[in-house]
Structure 1
Amino acid sequence: MLDHHLDALLQAATDRDPDRLFEHASQLYAATEHTDRATLSAVAARFGTVFDLVPPGIGARLGIVAGALAERGADPVPLGAPLVDQLVGLLEQSARFAAAWRSATGEAPPEPDDDDPAWVPSAAGRLTGLPEQEAFALADAWASLYMAQMPVLSILQLSPELRAALPSRERLVAALTAVIEDRGDLEWLAGLLSVLEGEHLIVLHRRERRGYEVVIGGIGDNFQLHTLLADVVSGPAEHGLIEGVQPEPEWVMGASDGDVDPEDGPVHGQFNLVDAYGKWIWNEGVPADIPQLDGVRVVVLDPPPYERSWSPGRRYPMMPGTIRLERILPADEAAAWLARIALESDSQ
């Protein structure tokens, strides 16, 4: 039955029949409801071939189905290349749309109206100086961007392999950078592309003169990092850990891979996070913002200057946050690191 739906879907794409295409895509997704992971992954991999057969605007709508298959349990990795390639193409066309719009109107490009079927032809009509077909394609790309990024958001959250080795990453980042100032609705994607995977951090507790090497992945912001750091260094002093900083188990689960219950919050901060140069590491930032010292990001754990609290959970709910205590630094190594970092800053 699934092969039948896939065959019909690909034939509709070959025939350039969007009505049949979306009908078969819907039927295929419905038919996978109780499918095992291996079969579902095979379906998704074959589904990914459809994007080479359809225009980008139609592909953006089909991408929602691809992302839903990944959320249902399909292996996201085979979907990485087709979904990212499609998104990159639309981003690059969107940069041209923004430039053409500014040239024609002297204004910043508008937010597309998904509920108005006349928006694309109307916007295309204002791109004076371009052939009609080209103007329509650029306006359609601008209108399709948000939808096209949605499945990429899903597969990146679901797959640490894709986050670590995303196809066409450099081209995607460059294309996203070119439009991000005009498209605030793409900031979640920009944040995901900055997530560190398999990153080693040196963590120093200044007052206890102790140091740790940890490995992090899938951490969307420094609120989440703060909670997980407090958990991983917490424990008996005789074991080389820090006493009195253990976060509540519910906070840790919410920051790693558990469900979030609003009644579990708020989370209370245990430290003031400081970088190797004495600057505060703000919870609102991301781990990738932490500067390196000789190629390693360093986090210093100082006492909190005031009480901080925040809502439990993860910025990206489908992405488990991980942290692993790789080793407790020997006393001489911890002392060497502590001798190299800046003194605690009195004001920020």
Structure 2
Amino acid sequence: MITDDRRPLKLAVDRLQAAAAARASGDFADAVNAVLAALPQSDRRDASDAVPRLAKLLPDTPVWLQGMVAVITGACVELGADPAVCAPVILDSARDAVRRAAEFPAIWAAAGGGALPVPQSVDPSAEAIDQLGGASAGEEALLGLMAWWQVQQWELATVAMLSHRPIRDGLAERAQFRAEAERLALVGPYPLESMRHIVRMVDDEPMLVLHRPSGTAYRMRMGGLGDNRQLLTLLADTLVGGGHVPGVAPHPAAVGLARDTPFGPGTNPPSANVSAQFALANPDGTLIDPEGCPDDITFTDGIRFLVLDAPRTPLTWTAGRLFPVVSGSLVLDAVLSPEESRTWAAKASH
């Protein structure tokens, strides 16, 4: 039998709950540090026991520590806990934090601030609080400042939740979440690439692909792709490796890394290097950024329609996945007939 003294995560969460009940912010901060210290010693069972307690605790957490508790909860999910238990409260809180952070520049300007503050510590700086009016600052101003300071923590927690497809499938207000994250990325201290991409991730999505140089077209289905470099790798494997179009197929090791091969720092072999075989475009002629995501592909006649041209400039990258725990897929459903291919080619601008 495993006793509590051999389960440091349980004891640390006990301390969090006690501090929340006593409304003791200092004790709560110490307990958060104890949880962080316990995580490396914890397993799936410990994490599964902790997650429902952490999710229940989050609304009662001091606002300046909510982002950290969300990160801890996400770390427990990465250890194997069920994200369904905590995703609703984490994602609702993340959406709210992103919205407040996106509104913060206007609040800062109204308070007479100059350059926006850049978070360089866990807590907002005294200078930033003073600029807003110190203790007399309104609640919305202080909540905006807290959100601005914690946005990177909310990004980590969001990615941990949305790395699981059932959670992505149930994501409410996806368009609003995406819009606020993109708005914040334009003015915020971080690009929020991971948050913006995973909020837009598509799953089991049909796609029509026209290879314009050969005039051939294909029906495909994609899912779990974090960015367009991953898509380009799998397109080259499917079309070049499958013998449908000319080019240089990626090495099987690179294809595996783009699909589901585990990887981490320093584990990618030289064969993981990939050279672009195509330039991506929408049918109206607008180019699609390789650093963007598959959601950039627009719809024509009810289906995403991707046009492949010859690469305009050399482009290489190391194969992998922006979200390592999410498996990527690209399936060739059908090779279209010459007549069907010509019909689709006529829909694309030259």
Taking structure 2 as the reference length, what is the TM-score of the superposition?
0.82
Unpaired segments ≥5 residues, structure 1: 344-348
Provide the C-alpha distance between the structure 1 equivalents of 2:175 and 2:347, rounded to a whole number of angstroms.
33
Does 2:221 match 1:218? no
Does 2:167 match 1:162? yes
Provide the C-alpha distance between the structure 2 equivalents of 1:42 and 1:94, rounded to a whole number of angstroms.
32
Provide the C-alpha distance between the structure 2 equivalents of 1:112 and 1:297, rounded to a whole number of angstroms.
39
1:91–1:179 CA contact under 8 A, matched in 2? yes
Q: Deviations over 1:42-92 (max 9, x none)?
A: 542342111122123222111221111111122223322111222233233
Give how far 1:301 is off: 2.8
Which of 188, 193, 199 is 2:199 aligned to?
Answer: 193
Closer, same or farther: CA 105–300 of 1 in aligned 2, 3 Å: same
Which of 183, 186, 201 is 1:181 aligned to?
Answer: 186
Provide the C-alpha distance between the structure 1 equivalents of 2:102 and 2:241, rounded to a whole number of angstroms.
51
Closer, same or farther: CA 99–254 of 1 in aligned 2, 3 Å: same
Segment drifting more, 255-264 vs 48-57:
255-264
Does 2:21 match 1:11? no
Closer, same or farther: CA 242–45 of 1 in aligned 2, 3 Å: farther
Provide the C-alpha distance between the structure 2 equivalents of 1:8 and 1:80, rounded to a whole number of angstroms.
23
Partner of 2:192: helix, strand, or coil? Answer: helix
Give how far 1:102 is off: 0.4
User: What does 1:15-26 align with in structure 2 at a 5 Å threshold?
Assistant: 15-18=22-25, 19=27, 21-22=31-32, 25-26=35-36
1:254 maps to 257
Give how far 1:210 is off: 2.7
Closer, same or farther: CA 215–77 of 1 in aligned 2, 3 Å: farther
1:274–1:300 CA contact under 8 A, matched in 2? yes
1:301 maps to 308
Which of 338, 341, 345 is 2:348 aligned to?
Answer: 341
Segment drifting more, 246-255 vs 324-333:
324-333
1:99 maps to 106
Closer, same or farther: CA 204–82 of 1 in aligned 2, 3 Å: same
Provide the C-alpha distance between the structure 1 equivalents of 2:125 and 2:202, rounded to a whole number of angstroms.
37
Partner of 1:105: helix, strand, or coil? Answer: coil
Partner of 1:65: helix, strand, or coil? Answer: helix
2:119–2:189 CA contact under 8 A, matched in 1? no
1:51 maps to 58
Which of 40, 43, 56 is 1:34 aligned to?
Answer: 43
Letter paired with 1:246 = A
Provide the C-alpha distance between the structure 1 equivalents of 2:111 and 2:204, rounded to a whole number of angstroms.
46
Segment drifting more, 56-65 vs 72-81:
72-81
Give how far 1:128 is off: 4.0
Q: Deviations over 1:129-184 (max 9, x none)?
A: 9834635444333222222322112222x212223332443443344345332214
1:232–1:325 CA contact under 8 A, matched in 2? yes
Closer, same or farther: CA 101–207 of 1 in aligned 2, 3 Å: closer
Aligned pairs, how many?
A: 334
Closer, same or farther: CA 67–245 of 1 in aligned 2, 3 Å: same
Partner of 2:346: helix, strand, or coil? Answer: helix
Closer, same or farther: CA 7–183 of 1 in aligned 2, 3 Å: same
Provide the C-alpha distance between the structure 2 equivalents of 1:16 and 1:67, rounded to a whole number of angstroms.
24
The RMSD of aligned alpha carbons is 3.0
1:346 maps to none
Does 2:339 match 1:332? yes
Provide the C-alpha distance between the structure 1 equivalents of 2:347 and 2:338, rounded to a whole number of angstroms.
15
Provide the C-alpha distance between the structure 2 equivalents of 1:268 and 1:4, rounded to a whole number of angstroms.
48
Letter paired with 2:348 = I
Closer, same or farther: CA 110–129 of 1 in aligned 2, 3 Å: closer
Give how far 1:101 is off: 1.4
Partner of 2:117: helix, strand, or coil? Answer: coil
Give how far 1:186 is off: 4.3
1:120–1:140 CA contact under 8 A, matched in 2? no
Which of 310, 319, 339 is 2:326 aligned to?
Answer: 319
2:44–2:81 CA contact under 8 A, matched in 1? no
Q: Deviations over 1:81-116 (max 9, x none)?
A: 11122223323333453222101225342112316x
Unpaired segments ≥5 residues, structure 2: none
Partner of 2:225: helix, strand, or coil? Answer: coil
1:206–1:300 CA contact under 8 A, matched in 2? yes
1:25–1:62 CA contact under 8 A, matched in 2? no
Give how far 1:306 is off: 4.9
Closer, same or farther: CA 43–326 of 1 in aligned 2, 3 Å: farther
Letter paired with 2:250 = P
| Aligned-pair identity (%) | 28
